[in-house]
Amino acid sequence: MKYVLVTGGVVSGLGKGVTASSIGVVLKACGLRITSIKIDPYLNTDAGTMSPFEHGEVFVLDDGGEVDLDLGNYERFLDIKLTRDNNITTGKIYQSVIDKERRGDYLGKTVQVVPHVTDAIQEWIERVAMIPVDGKEGPADVCVIELGGTIGDIESMPFIEALGQFSYRVGPGNFCLVHVSLVPVLNVVGEQKTKPTQHSVRGLRGLGLTPNILACRSTKALEENVKEKLSQFCHVPAANIITLYDVPNIWHIPLLLRDQKAHEAILKGLNLQGVTVEPHLDEWTGRVERCNKLHEPVRIAMVGKYTGLSDSYLSVLKALFHASVVCQRKLIVEWVPACDLEDATAKETPDVHKAAWNLLKGSDGILVPGGFGDRGVQGKILAAKYARENRIPYFGICLGMQIAVIEFARSVLALQDANSTEFDSETSNPCVIFMPEGSKTHMGGTMRLGSRRTYFQVTDCKSAKLYGNVSFVDERHRHRYEVNPEMVAQLENAGLSFVGKDKTGQRMEIVELPDHPYFIGVQFHPEFKSRPGRPSALFLGLIAAASGQLESFLNNLNNVQNVATNSIKSNGRSTMKVHQNGSVKKPANGSVNGVYANGNGHANGNGHANGNGVHY
């Protein structure tokens, strides 16, 4: 096993995760098998208890791990499936050390950061690096380790120490350190300044780690004399100094790395020269080009709580984007803060209320993503009602499905107080209830989490068709509440159709309104398994419906072959050929979204990402 460690210096937010994933992409294109580990030095055991508003979305893995959103990037870029242990946190490490101490495993020794915590970190890395994540047998060739945070952070010290020891232990030729840093340009003189990078490399060396490669973020390519200067002060050959200059979207990053021969420097560091092939990355080049050509817009209203930070819904945005590309539409996400749709807002700030409704009404489709807590729930219910009554395509994910059921119970069954017990524990019409397997007292890891199977109840429904007429689908879950099985008959008699259930038939997984152009809610989170070139089926349905293409999609899934660049077999049921490209867009609030980069999109190689069904 060879290791590439990616660290960050100067400031956070340099795109270390994207850089690390892109390194994986280039190495994969060299013919190597790649796995990855993300180290988050925070004390939380996992990302499950962290607010999406603070830290971006909580990504959910097949095994139910609630992890940092960077693992989503790795899964999408590299088309792999990671485990919860691929995300190391200070909380997990200390918990394992303390458990060991309580068991008496340290045999009376004083338990210390060095060597006990640092040993635990190294053992964890070595163990997890061996887990196959690409569907093949045996361990990968290279493990890319991303150390979160910035060099100098107090929290990352034990990890730096452990990684320093680790690099020494695995020895030269097995370990390559890429340091991502910033080269700012001062407006006054327009000069590329190397001092911050010099300082951060000095800090790194002082902690016992020597970078093999510098990846410098800057607005433009580094000038030769700047590279020379950095080389001299940082003791890194100029050929190993790469510039990650600003690009229109992150799909360019693997190409930037390849063009500057980053792979050669890494392969040299890992003693792998001569055993690999040239990384062509044709799919990436094509994707970047095609993405720039998308012009016809499709507008999707995202009615959520955390609309101020697009990272809060990162995977949903990626999934929408993958679907838009296949539908040849330029994705425009309209951020609609759910609270702004509510009547109370009309009284307090009528302009805000009006603007939110205008956005909603101007969109081609409405998506209500997952969420917790009662803030904005009424606004989401109004959005679902608007979509249902005006026949606007609607897709509700997890809470978005529960909202659709509550709205239907209130409006169609005339049960005014219908609600989820999450928001009103006293309601006399609890159409969404607490699940027995959840916990109300412990928040971490106590939900129904990870991959679970949904069985289709009927074949003649949109979701079954979109999934390729399979009998079941495996998707990832993260919820504590569920549709009340005792109210299902009543809801179905009034026209709501529960077309997907778990194996007991008691747990509602997919709901549809049959007489609506596209009104679907799912208890699971299909966004986590969407891939570039293989968008998640129900996101594809939403975008197709919102762009007037659903009918033709459903009538003939094969007709997408006309826009083909890749063909994907799906258990012999149908073959779709799709575009794979990307685009950049800015949402109303100014943060970047809709940008998507992916690993490879070699869909043929992996015809069962969902364990079943059609793969686009």
Which range, of 64-72, 189-197, 472-480, 587-595, touches ligand GLN by CB under 6 A?
Answer: 472-480
Burial of residue 279, with CB atoms counted within 10 A of its CB: 0-12 exposed, 13-18 middle, 19 or more buried: buried
* Options 88-96, 161-169, 367-375, 465-473: segment touching ligand GLN (CB under 6 A): 367-375
Token pair 């993300």 in the structure block, residue: 38
Q: How far is the CB of 290 from ligand GLN (least distance, A)?
A: 33
Give yes or no for residue 398 binding ligand GLN (CB under 6 A). Answer: yes
Under the criterion CB under 6 A, does residue 370 sit at the interface with ligand GLN?
A: yes
SS3 content of the chain, % helix, strand, coil (to 5): 40, 20, 40
Q: Which is nearer to ligand GLN, 10 or 387 (CB)?
A: 387
601 counts as binding ligand GLN under rule CB under 6 A:
no
Stretch that binds ligand GLN, among 72-80, 237-245, 358-366, 369-377 (CB under 6 A): 369-377
Length in residues, the chain: 616
Provide the pairing of β-strand 497-501 with 448-456: antiparallel
Asked if 553 touches ligand GLN (CB under 6 A), the answer is no
**Assigned token pair, 560:** 């997408």
CB proximity list for 267: less than 8 A, separation 6 or greater: 27, 30, 273, 276
Between 65 and 370, whose beta carbon lies closer to ligand GLN? Answer: 370
Instruction: Give the C-alpha separation, 471 to 571, whole Å.
Output: 12
Q: To the nearest whole angstrom, how small is the minimum distance from the Cβ of residue 161 to ligand GLN?
A: 37
Looking at this protein, which amino acid is placed at residue 458?
A: V
Report the residue closest to ligand GLN, judged by CB: 370
SS3 585: strand
Q: Is 61 in the site for ligand GLN (CB under 6 A)?
A: no
Least distance CB 92 / ligand GLN (angstroms): 23
Stretch that binds ligand GLN, among 77-85, 461-469, 474-482, 501-509 (CB under 6 A): 474-482
Q: Which entry of 176, 398, 431, 461 is annotated as an active-site residue?
A: 398
Q: Is 481 in the site for ligand GLN (CB under 6 A)?
A: yes
Cβ(394)–Cβ(511) below 8 Å? no
Going from the C-alpha of 297 to that of each of 319, 559, 582, the distances in angstroms are 16, 21, 13
Figure out which of the listed residues 342, 407, 422, 527 binds ligand GLN, where binding follows CB under 6 A.
Answer: 422
DSSP 429-450: SEEEEE-TTS-SS--TT-SEEE
Work out the number of other CB atoms within 10 angstroms of the CB of residue 172: 12
For residue 57, the minimal CB distance to ligand GLN (Å) is 10
Q: Is there binding between residue 337 and ligand GLN (CB under 6 A)?
A: no
Binding of ligand GLN at residue 27 (CB under 6 A)?
no
- The smaller minimum CB distance to ligand GLN, of residues 164 and 438, is found at 438
**Whole-number Å distance between alpha carbons of 110 and 100:** 12
Distance in Å, CB of 399 to ligand GLN, minimum? 3
Residue count, binding to ligand GLN (CB under 6 A):
10
φ, ψ at 274 (rounded to 5°) = 90, -20
Give the interface segment with ligand GLN, choosing from 242-250, 295-303, 368-376, 514-522 (CB under 6 A): 368-376
- Asked if 372 is part of the footprint of ligand GLN (rule: CB under 6 A), the reply reads yes
Q: Choose between 525 and 577: whose C-beta lies nearer to ligand GLN.
A: 525
The 8-class DSSP code of residue 189 comes to: T
- Residue 527 among the catalytic residues: yes
Phi, psi of 498 (to 5 degrees): -90, 95
Residue among 229, 305, 465, 478 that touches ligand GLN (CB under 6 A): 478
Nearer Cβ to ligand GLN (116/448): 448
* 543/319 Cα distance (integer angstroms): 10
532, 8, 19: which is closest to 245 by C-alpha?
A: 19
Q: How far is the CB of 432 from ligand GLN (least distance, A)?
A: 7
CB of 93 to ligand GLN, least distance (A): 28
User: CA-to-CA distance for 269 and 555, rounded, in angstroms?
Assistant: 53
Q: Using the rule CB under 6 A, is 446 a contact of ligand GLN?
A: no
Among 199, 202, 268, 480, binds ligand GLN (CB under 6 A): 480
Q: Does 475 bind ligand GLN (CB under 6 A)?
A: no
Select 262 or 406, whichever has its Cβ closest to ligand GLN: 406
Choose which of 371, 500, 521, 535 interacts with ligand GLN (CB under 6 A). 371
State the minimum distance, in angstroms, from the CB of residue 499 to ligand GLN: 19
DSSP string, 204-272: HHHTT---SEEEEEESSPPPHHHHHHHHHHHT--GGGEEEEE--SSTTHHHHHHHHTTHHHHHHHHTT-
Give the DSSP per-residue string, 502-531. Answer: -TTS-SEEEEE-TTSSSEEEESS-GGGG-B
Minimum CB separation from ligand GLN for residue 304, in Å?
A: 10
Does 302 help bind ligand GLN (rule: CB under 6 A)? no
Check 479, 527, 579, 615 and give the catalytic one.
Answer: 527
Which residues, 6+ apart, have CB-to-CB distance to 551 below 8 Å? Answer: none
Which CB atom, from 398 or from 508, has the smaller least distance to ligand GLN?
398
Distance separating the N- and C-terminal Cα atoms of the chain = 33
Tokens of 443: 């928040």
d(CA 47, CA 56): 10
Helix (H, G, I), strand (E, B) or coil at 12: coil
Answer yes or no whether residue 407 interacts with ligand GLN by CB under 6 A.
no
**Interaction between residue 479 and ligand GLN (CB under 6 A):** yes
Quick one: which segment of 65-73, 478-486, 541-549, 568-576 binds ligand GLN (CB under 6 A)?
478-486
Least distance CB 60 / ligand GLN (angstroms): 9
For the chain, the farthest-separated pair of C-alpha atoms sits apart, in whole angstroms, at 76
Q: Cα separation of 344 and 354, whole Å? A: 12
What six digits make up the tokens of 429? 């019409």
Per-residue contact string for residues 486-525; x = within reach of ligand GLN by CB under 6 A: ----------------------------------------
Query: Of 538, 423, 412, whose CA–CA distance to 487 is shortest?
Result: 412
CB of 523 to ligand GLN, least distance (A): 8
Catalytic positions, written as ranges: 398, 525, 527
Binding site for ligand GLN (CB under 6 A): 370-372, 398-399, 422, 478-481
